[in-house]
Structure 1
Amino acid sequence: MTANSNLGRRGFLGMAAAGAGGLSLAGLVSSPMEDQVAYATQNVSKTSSPSDLKITDLRTVTLRGVPFRSTIVRIDTNQGLYGLGEVRDDGDRRYALLLKSRLVGQNPLNVEKLFKMLKQFGGHGRQGGGVSAVEMALWDIAGKAYGVPVYQLLGGKYRDRVRAYADAAVSNNPKTYAQRMKDRVKEGYTFLKMDLGIEMIQDVKGAFNGRNLWPGDLAQYNFTPGGYGATLHPFTRVQLTRKGLDAMADYVEAVRDAVGYGVPIGHDHMGHFGINDQIKLAQRLEEYAPAYMEDVVAWMYTKQFKQFREATNVPVMTGEDIYGLEAFKELIDAEAVDIVHPDPATAGGILETKKIGDYAEEHGVPMFLHYAGSPVGAMAAVHIAAATQNFVALENHSFEVEGWDNIINGPAKPLVKDGFYTVPQGPGLGVELNEQEVKRRMDPAEGYFNPTPEWDKANSHDRIWS
């Protein structure tokens, strides 16, 4: 028998907690099985018997103006533990409710098994929101059951603080835009992103060819079928003139004059026009050293991303609308992107996003994280960022939303201080909902985690192979 074999459970765990003077890995391996089990389960919630956990319910509440619509998913269990996740901003809560009948009765700790079972029900863009929200909630339960933060279940953390980048939407005056960006720097942000859409210059005479093809406002988020906003980049036939390129550059120059070159600035939402003109714009902006240009065309045009990358020195980034690792692999393997930019609420949740980051790291590609929802999903993203080595910055799209921090309890407030999130240390995601604030912001038509019995049973044969 080993020296440890006569230790009682309390003495054994005391040695394990004592650090360098306590239990070593070798000592653990050579100890009796009952001591190994005691050590491995010392942080398991006293109210949880993990092997007997079962999912009993899935309910939702939808928040408005955070800054968009965001649905929070709650998965309940037979032992009182529950997990929170979030559907992608402006995604339909029914993407998550559809999954309830496939989850009830399952052990939530089998996260990978359940993800593989549910993955077929997700898709690119907002369609990935349901599977992603459920996967986040499962990890929240797992962390609570074992008494550790989610980042620890992912292999531990590389950082205690997570850099946020501030995303400023379009302004129609260069000086106004510059002042808004300068304000973000004063608040401590060390990375910025500015939307740079042609709608800012749509009234500049002679700014681009093809204006008459699209009468009215050139809003990129107008979803009218057949309209400019709903037409893929190569098919609008809008072409920027020298005057248009200079007009867009005026915005970038004004911001650079205001904030200097100590803070990197990326560019997004340039407009729906083809890759040749995106290249012309990048070449015009090279003198301002853009940190990246994002989504220059739709993410599925791998060859066009590669064309852009070969024609300009501006780094190119995409990924917020991609579901699953597979499509990211195609872009990375083709050497078509400089940076990947998944949104955990579309990509497949916490572990899938971590896998995307790890695959990118193997190929020398950094990872940013897109995020524009409530603090629940933001904290899920923070855990991913903490546990992924090649992570750079996480979007904060809510810095102008009054009281955004108050939606959750748990982490210290403000959630973003001096441009950084502090990684939560509580079990699971480390957050609880502030019920009063959630009810103040929720969609009253949907209610506060109302029962969802209509989603209890599946009425389809789900297998996708014979």
Structure 2
Amino acid sequence: MKITAIRPVLAQGERKTFVFVKVETDQPGLVGWGEATVEGKPRAVAGCVQDMEPMILGFSPLEVEHCWQVLYRSGFWRQGVIGLSALSGIDQALWDIKGKEAGKPIYELLGGKVRDRVRMYTHFGGDTPEAMAESALSKAAKGWDAVKTVPIPITNILDGPRVLDEAEAGLKAVREAVGNGVDILLDMHGRVTPQMAIRYAHRFEPFYPFFMEEPVQAENPAAMAQVARATNIPIATGERLFTRWGFREILETGAASLLQPDACHAGGISEIRRIAAQAEVYYAGLAPHNPYGPVSTAACVHVDFTTPNFVIQEMVDPDDSPLSMTEFVVEPLSVVDGHIMPPEKPGLGVEVDEAACARHAPDFGSEAVRSSSRSYLARHRDGGVADS
């Protein structure tokens, strides 16, 4: 069996442009699907997928690790977010082919499952404490027992009690609304400095957050470790880190006890498994980052089923993004009471609907698509650019 083509398939969702990756083989009808979505840079990663195609054309798609090594180590340059995302999508697609050829779901090829179901969490929002509480309650009513939000406003290098009071009021309202039966996860988006992250953490501790994600940018593990030492809230990070080398210093410095590699960015299924094993040595858990589409979700779930130190899995609530989560694939994985059961179909268990993607092909000249890139711009009150 040989790889005969690798191509990106783009589709415009509610909030972002999705990049799916199709790997074709010389076996009639046998193709694999992956996802390589990158916020604000869909054409860049799609172009990189095309650039990588000739590197493994003619290779066996069943030799997943060989293909991974060629894509990662060849061409002189180590990969950044664009290259690793392209590689990640291709890697997922190769595992999809391998599973289909074997007639087994991918988790069976990774050593078999170590749990009966995978716990999922989704997102809630709101601009006021009352709106946040209502949003969290609506998720809990649908069976989600873990929900995540961004609890803080844009915060300066050093800020006063106004922002702390605002953040505390929101979290307090949510905890009082949902009780202790729902875990609350906090995403700081790397927006603040260590000193402000510590101040926020001390305000949040009475409400027992499940974890605090990216309190500072992961580019400085020592700064994140400073926060981790100052609070009893578990620190999570990883969405902006790539490969096991990117996570090494996080673990060595004790900067985080929960790693969040992204199946679309960190190196695909192959590399997330290695990162999880690396984390286990440090008694750190795995909670893959995944605010993306149904293919990425499926890829994560297969890893989750086979990973002993897995904790919880992120996904977009299909009710919030029905186009992205249900229309772009033929049969998406279903969530029941906040959990996903083991997929039974061979490979990933989901198939991209190319006709649906074609109907929603992105128009990069349209204001809707352009504004999705601009939506990540954030500013401080004085007009200075803030981390988003």
TM-score range (shorter-chain normalised) is 0.7 to 0.9
Q: CA deviation at 1:54?
A: 0.7
Q: Which residue in 2 is equivalent to 1:421?
A: 340
Query: Secondary structure at the residue paired with 1:392?
Result: coil
RMSD: 2.0
1:133/1:345 contact within 8 Å kept: yes
Rounded Cα–Cα distance in structure 1 between residues aligned with 2:310 and 2:188: 22
2:51 to 98, 106, 110: 98
Q: Does 1:87 align with 2:20?
A: no
CA distance in 2, matches of 1:156, 1:411: 21
Structure 2 matches for 1:22-37, cutoff 5 A? none
Is the alpha carbon distance of 1:162 and 1:307 closer, same or farther for their aligned partners in structure 2, counting shifts above 3 Å?
Answer: same
Q: Indicate the SS of the match to 2:93.
A: helix
Question: In the alignment, which residue of structure 2 is the partner of 1:174?
Answer: 129
Q: What amino acid maps onto 1:87 in structure 2?
A: A
Give the aligned residue type for 1:365: A
Q: Tell me which of 317, 331, 334 is aligned to 2:253.
A: 334
Instruction: Rate the CA distance shift 1:125–1:440 in 2: closer, same or farther, 3 A.
Output: same
| Alignment-derived partner of residue 198 in structure 1 | 153
SS at match of 2:48: helix
Between the aligned partners of 1:127 and 1:179, the Cα distance in structure 2 is 40
Kindly indicate whether the alpha-carbon contact (under 8 Å) linking 1:126 and 1:321 is maintained by their aligned counterparts in 2.
no
Cα deviation, 1:46-74, whole Å, max 9, x if unaligned, reads xxxxxxx1111112211112542111110
* In the alignment, structure 1 residue 146 sits paired with structure 2 residue 102: yes
Which residue in the other structure is 2:300 paired with?
381
Match of 1:203 in 2: none
Sequence identity (%): 31
Aligned-residue offset at 1:313: 1.1
Q: Which residue of 1 aligns with 2:203?
A: 284
Cα shift readout 1:159-182 (whole Å, capped 9, x = no counterpart): 23221111224x221111111111
Cα distance, 1:341–1:152 mapped onto 2, change above 3 Å:
same
Structure 1 partner of 2:376: none
Contact 1:74 1:84 in 2 (8 A): yes
CA distance in 2, matches of 1:411, 1:247: 38
- Deviation per CA, 1:211-262, whole angstroms, max 9, x where unpaired? xxxxxxxxxxxxxxxxxxxxxxxxxx53121232111101101111111111
Are residues 114 and 126 of structure 1, via their aligned partners in 2, closer, same or farther at CA, if it must alter by over 3 Å?
A: same
Deviates more, 1:314-323 or 1:268-277: 268-277
Residues 264/67 of structure 1: CA separation in 2 closer, same or farther (3 Å cut): same
Name the CA distance, whole Å, in 2 between partners of 1:428 and 1:60: 19
Q: 1:196: Cα distance to partner?
A: 1.8
Unaligned runs of 5+ in 2: 366-388
Q: Match of 1:408, SS?
A: coil
Cα 1:410–1:244 shift into 2, 3 Å: closer
Assess, with a 3 A threshold, how the Cα gap between structure 1 residues 411 and 62 changes in structure 2: closer, same or farther: closer
Moved more, 122-131 or 176-185: 122-131
Tell whether the 8 Å contact from 1:71 to 1:93 is kept in structure 2 after alignment: yes
Give the C-alpha shift of residue 78 in structure 1. 0.9
1:115 is aligned to 68
Q: Distance in 1 between matches of 2:173 and 2:189?
A: 17
1:371 alignment partner in structure 2? 290
8 Å contact kept, 1:67–1:398? no
The residue number in structure 2 matching 1:232 is none
Q: Which position in structure 2 is the counterpart of 1:246?
A: 165
Q: Secondary structure at the match of 2:249?
A: helix
Contact 2:191 2:217 (8 Å CA) reproduced = no
Measure the CA separation in 2 of the matches of 1:395 and 1:351: 19
1:16-47 CA-partner distances (Å, limit 9, x unpaired): xxxxxxxxxxxxxxxxxxxxxxxxxxxxxxxx
Q: Is the 8 A contact 2:269 2:299 kept in 1?
A: yes
Q: In structure 2, what is the equivalent of residue 219 of structure 1?
A: none
Aligned to 1:35: none
Aligned residues: 355
Give 1:444 shift: 6.0
SS at match of 1:353: helix
Shift of 1:122: 6.2
Given residue 119 of structure 1, which amino acid in structure 2 is its aligned partner?
A: Y
Shifted more, 372-381 versus 129-138: the winner is: 372-381
Matched, 1:74 2:22: yes
Of residues 318, 321, 337 in structure 2, which corresponds to 1:401? 321
Give the aligned residue type for 1:320.
E
Q: Could you say if the C-alpha distance between residues 132 and 163 of structure 1 is closer, same or farther in structure 2, counting changes exceeding 3 Å?
A: same
**Residue 384 of structure 2 is aligned to residue 442 of structure 1:** no
Instruction: Give the one of 263, 268, 287 matched to 2:182.
Output: 263
Q: Which residue of 1 aligns with 2:386?
A: none
- What amino acid maps onto 2:22 in structure 1? R
Task: Find the structure with the greater CA-based Rg.
Answer: 1
Q: Distance in 1 between matches of 2:69 and 2:122?
A: 34
